[in-house]
Structure 1
Amino acid sequence: MTHDLTDLLGDVGPIVFYLAVWGLVFAGTALFVGVFIPFITGDSLLFAAGLLTGTHSELSIWVLAIGVGIAAVLGDQVGFWLGRRLGRPYLARRGGRWVQAGVRRAERFYELFGWWSVVISRYIPWGRVFIPPIAGISAMKYWRFFTANVVGALSWGVLITVIGYFAAVNPSVRPVAYVVAGVVILASIAAGIRAYVLDRRSRLRPATGSVEPTGDGHRPAL
């Protein structure tokens, strides 16, 4: 990934480099690209872009990182409004069996965590693609979605990009940067496992009657 970005930077210069990285982050959720090629629209892209920025003086880490955060927010906004406008059929048309399994997993994740699911999903490859439209389909109040979207997208975009930058520019903090990157990845895996375990537990419990949806438009965990 880093080699590809270096070639891109050498061919097109800083401005187009920024736009390419931001465009990939945006397309990962807004255009569903992240379902099929998550490794060039997610964590790997951001970390590699940060590494490259740390070794090229013509690039600014703050321009890159803040732009990534904004692109991530805008991509999620598009996903939310597509879900709100087009409803569940929008997701039903998205690919084959494995995609639909991801949709169902994300729906359950949203039911379990509500507002936090939008924040946490930014760190989970399948979550960042599916959760925004599911929040829209579930009639989550827009301003609640927006606050969660900003917290999750900005923290994800800025954090991972800056970690990559410090891993390249400062040898003394490089081990720490790699540790933090590992913690972020492990935390995203743990969130996915927790959602799976809670889902399994809730399915094994006998039904105790109907559950009323909350004000966010989702049902609370059983």
Structure 2
Amino acid sequence: MSFVSDFLAMIGGLPRPLLILVTGALVLGECTIGLGFLVPGESGLLVASAAVTDIGFFFVLSLTVALCAVIGDNIGFFLGRRYGARVRETRMVAKLGVRHWDRACRMLRRYGIGAVFVARFLPVVRTLVPVSAGTSGLGYWRFLATSVVGATAWSMLHVGIGWAAGTSAKYVEHLLGRASGIVLGVLVLAGIGFWLWRRRSRRAAEDAAPAAEQAEEPAQQRAA
């Protein structure tokens, strides 16, 4: 066997309860404010999902991940309700980025309960929107229902992607034989490079936005 088969065999060889438990813990950590910047929950989910081989395991892993994500959302919601607007001044938000907190608040003001669903698919913001929802006075049962729907859709999508990626990698390896390691290595490096480029471009755009707004204010004052 080559690298891909060895890796997938190693993941797939773990006891399923352990794999589900570890994956759920990673997702719970990522979705809980204060831990989200430390825990690679989404990456761990995709890696674990590559070990899925049947529809039964797909549903068990998806539902477990969804439950852990909802628990993380609830922790954030009640922290927001408990501490209110003071959350913005905490070290947790400072580590995640105040600009992400402000973005979460803008999304909630603009889309209301829909922001809870949309944020589930956005890195970092999905950790902050539940807290922002708690500070905003949003009704809990509406929040909970939307969180459950969003978490279920998100978990099934990512488990499905991981399952498909694992199956595709093994198929490509079967077709290409030993050359598959080189090909997959190149594809992985290209994917990582593209992801880093997108991340840097997005951060540059986010950093430039406040500066542009500050530059517009004096111009507006002079015009007035």
Query: How high is the sequence identity, in percent, across the aligned residues?
Result: 28
In structure 2, stretches of 5+ residues that fail to align are 173-190, 218-224
1:139 correspondence with 2:141 = no
In structure 1, C-alpha distance between the alignment counterparts of 2:65 and 2:8, rounded to whole Å:
15
Larger Rg computed on CA atoms? 2
Q: What is the SS of the residue equivalent to 1:53?
A: coil
Q: How does 1:204-219 map to 2 (within 5 A)?
A: none
Instruction: Find runs of 4+ consecutive structure 1 residues off by over 6 angstroms.
Output: 2-6, 202-205
Q: Which amino acid aligns with 2:87?
A: Y
Change beyond 3 A, Cα 1:154–1:98: closer
Cα deviation, 1:113-164, whole Å, max 9, x if unaligned, reads 1111100101101211100000000000112111211111110011111221
Q: Which amino acid aligns with 1:66?
A: L
Deviation at 1:49, TM superposition (A): 1.5
Q: Tell me which of 101, 117, 120 is aligned to 2:99.
A: 101
1:73 correspondence with 2:70 = yes
Verify the 8 A CA contact 2:19 2:48 in the aligned structure 1.
Answer: no
In structure 2, C-alpha distance between the alignment counterparts of 1:92 and 1:155, rounded to whole Å:
32
Whichever structure has more helix as a proportion of its residues is 2
In structure 1, stretches of 5+ residues that fail to align are 175-181, 206-222
Q: Which amino acid aligns with 1:13?
A: P
1:19 correspondence with 2:18 = no
Q: Which amino acid aligns with 2:151?
A: A
Of 127-136 and 45-54, deviating more is: 45-54
Give the TM-score of the pair, scaled to structure 2. Answer: 0.66
Verify the 8 A CA contact 1:35 1:99 in the aligned structure 2.
Answer: no
In structure 2, C-alpha distance between the alignment counterparts of 1:6 and 1:106, rounded to whole Å:
40
Verify the 8 A CA contact 2:70 2:151 in the aligned structure 1.
Answer: yes
Q: What's the C-alpha RMSD, in Å, of the aligned pairs?
A: 3.6
1:41 correspondence with 2:38 = no
Q: Which amino acid aligns with 2:70?
A: V
Q: Which amino acid aligns with 1:148?
A: T
Deviation at 1:53, TM superposition (A): 2.2
Change beyond 3 A, Cα 1:105–1:169: same
Change beyond 3 A, Cα 1:149–1:4: farther
**Residue number in structure 1 paired with 2:221:** none
Change beyond 3 A, Cα 1:53–1:90: same
Change beyond 3 A, Cα 1:95–1:19: same
Cα deviation, 1:169-191, whole Å, max 9, x if unaligned, reads 368x99xxxxxxx9xx9xxx9xx
